[in-house]
Amino acid sequence: MRALVWFVAAALVVGAATPVAAQESTGREGLWGSFGVGGGWNLARNIADETKPGFAGYVRLGWAVDRHVLFGGEGMLWAREEANQVLTRGNVTLTGLYYPAASRGIFLKLSLGLSLVDFFPTTDSTVVTTETGFGSNIALGYDLRISRSLFITPNVDFVYQRIENADNTMLLLTLGLTFQ
């Protein structure tokens, strides 16, 4: 939890900084895409009353509506290996990013779509269990310019999944590369 507090504080400090002249142009025009990796926690409590850490990643692709709004699609994944099986949770969603100040890189993201949960055995068995349901997430991120159309993008995502009358939530921290 301490890492999350530091991450959000750093994103807010960077977002509040006065942009240099080279950063005045947002670059938010036309096609955009992003991919990233990191980690996260499945916040659903297990029998031992623990949350479980795992690997996280995402891919996004879309179109800039204007300097403040981007729309597109996103696939995100959380995975963990435990007890001879790999558990994956993911969402495939329609995604909107909103930049409150067009000249700054901070954004809010909302995604709605489909959630997927898979159990893959790591032994010789070939039985794979897949469940689907409703998926959404809300996120805070920041585009830090490294070239004219390339950005480093830290993200904090809160993910919600509803599968067969069961709720699940995840908290993901990722670092991405975005082109615009």
CA–CA dist 29, 179 (Å, integer): 10
Residue 13's pLDDT is: 47
> Is residue 142 situated within a structural domain?
yes
> Is residue 26 situated within a structural domain?
no
Residue 2's pLDDT is: 55
Residue 27's pLDDT is: 58
> Is residue 20 situated within a structural domain?
no
DSSP H helical ranges for 50-154 = none
> Is residue 143 situated within a structural domain?
yes
CA–CA dist 88, 110 (Å, integer): 21
Q: In Å, how far are 7, 87, 120 from 179, measured between CA atoms?
A: 22, 31, 33
Residue 104's pLDDT is: 85
Phi, psi of 158 (to 5 degrees): -105, 115
Residue 98's pLDDT is: 96
> Is residue 23 situated within a structural domain?
no
> Is residue 155 situated within a structural domain?
yes
Residue 115's pLDDT is: 93
Residue 62's pLDDT is: 97
Residue 49's pLDDT is: 54
Domain containing residue 43: 2-15+31-179
Along the chain (180 residues), what's the average pLDDT of each consecutive run of 10 residues? 50 46 58 96 67 92 94 95 83 96 90 87 66 94 93 96 86 95
* CATH number of the domain to which 9 belongs: 2.40.160.20
> Is residue 7 situated within a structural domain?
yes
The tally of domains found in the chain comes to 1
Structure tokens at 40: 């996260």
